[in-house]
Amino acid sequence: MSHLPIYLDHHATTPLDARVLDAMMPYLTDRFGNAASRNHVFGWQAEEAVELARAEVAMLIGADKKEIIFTSGATESINLALKGVAEAYVSKGNHIITNAAEHRCVLDTCNHLKKLGFDITILSVRKDGTVDPDDVRKAITDKTILISIMMANNEIGSINPIQKIGEVAREKNIFFHSDIVQAAGKISVDVNDLNLDLASISAHKFHGPKGVGALFVRQKNPRIKPIAQMDGGGHEKEMRSGTLNVPGIVGLGKAAFLCKSEFDSDFWHDFNLRNKLYETIVKQLDQFHLNGAEIDSADMIKKFNSAEEASKHIRRLPNNLNISFEQTKSESIMIAMKEVAMSSGSACTSALPEPSHVLRAVGISDELAKGSLRFGIGRTNTPEEIDYVGRRLVEVVKKLRSESLHVHSS
């Protein structure tokens, strides 16, 4: 088995793929040019590398390379999408629709816009954490200018019916943004098939470097021009000023290329290991609650011709498992299993004492939410690691419950 500790927190971040680092290294050393310096070879090299990465990111999500705007990560992309569209199209309306299980970045950005006078509708979600397209339709008014619904939830892995929501948005001529951070590289993403107008992405969620991301901005049918949230030299079609992070962008592009070219093997690797861990829990523990959509069975999805096709029909990210254990606390489990990296919620909110807003949104009680654990499988995990984690988890939960029972009986 691999050396301890074992990393099972791939929704928070992923290890940098060695091939990504190799692609980045020349641009951290001798190819150090500024991509905006267009009068010498150093600048030309940098610009060429950036444009190759732009094409690689576009290919991953089915976009045109001219529709990719580089940013510092998903947080900036989401801010640019929501604030940029709100500011640019306020003359058409001031109403934005999102949902209660979104990442805090979307909810906090909407809260900021609310303070500026925008009308925000936060839809409730179904028990599995997904948004009902009919609820989106009912929420639309003649003032609605933007809908923002994440493709896959970062905590419970549930996959939203983005294509159907996009059809509603198209029908009503409303811009549609999606946080595709957890979906990109894990399930099939095609911005045209999904009817997306804007989509936010982050490199470090699929084995790229931290501090770099992208925003897809549709350029035709319809063409969108969010107002820049950072002023300066007018880089990135005047949507995001600032000297481009060439090494980071090269890393994002290489990571996207690897996800696209190795999609089948990555998908089945994550799916099989996740199901293996879940089966161990089901067989050896009771009194637990699966949070989010049901676990897709291998028999159901193996009937599809490819992993890409199969991924369009699953209800939950192939690498996600989120479970609440009764009669114990997630904090106690994590302390007892220090050799395994996992989490009790999203990385952005893990320091907060209150239960996850996502679990609250799907109706999980605060008490049960305090016993929830999120496992995120990744490219580097092995079957031996999953066997170890399964054994340890069963052992620790049983021990903690026994100790709790002993305390209460005495």
Give the residue numbers marked as catalytic.
348
> How far is the C-alpha of 114 from the C-alpha of 146, rounded, in Å?
14
* Residue 6 neighbours by CB under 8 Å, 6+ apart: 339, 340, 341, 381, 385, 388, 389
> Quick check: helix, strand or coil at residue 216?
strand
Exposure on the CB side of residue 407, measured as CA atoms within 13 A: 8
End-to-end CA distance of the chain: 41
Reference 89, options 195, 199, 215, 226; nearest CA is 226
Helix (H) and strand (E) counts in the chain: 15, 12
What's the DSSP call for residue 220?
Answer: S
Reference 131, options 183, 166, 171, 93; nearest CA is 166
Helices (H), 337-380: 357-361, 366-369
> How far is the C-alpha of 340 from the C-alpha of 4, rounded, in Å?
8
Order of strands across the sheet that contains 372-376 = 288-290, 320-325, 372-376
Beta bridge partners of 217: 198
Reference 99, options 128, 75, 74, 77; nearest CA is 128
Beta bridge partners of 325: 288
Tokens linked to 342? 């996992």
Task: Report the run of H or E that residue 179 belongs to, with start and end.
Answer: strand 175-179
Determine contact, residues 331/167, Cβ cutoff 8 Å. Answer: no
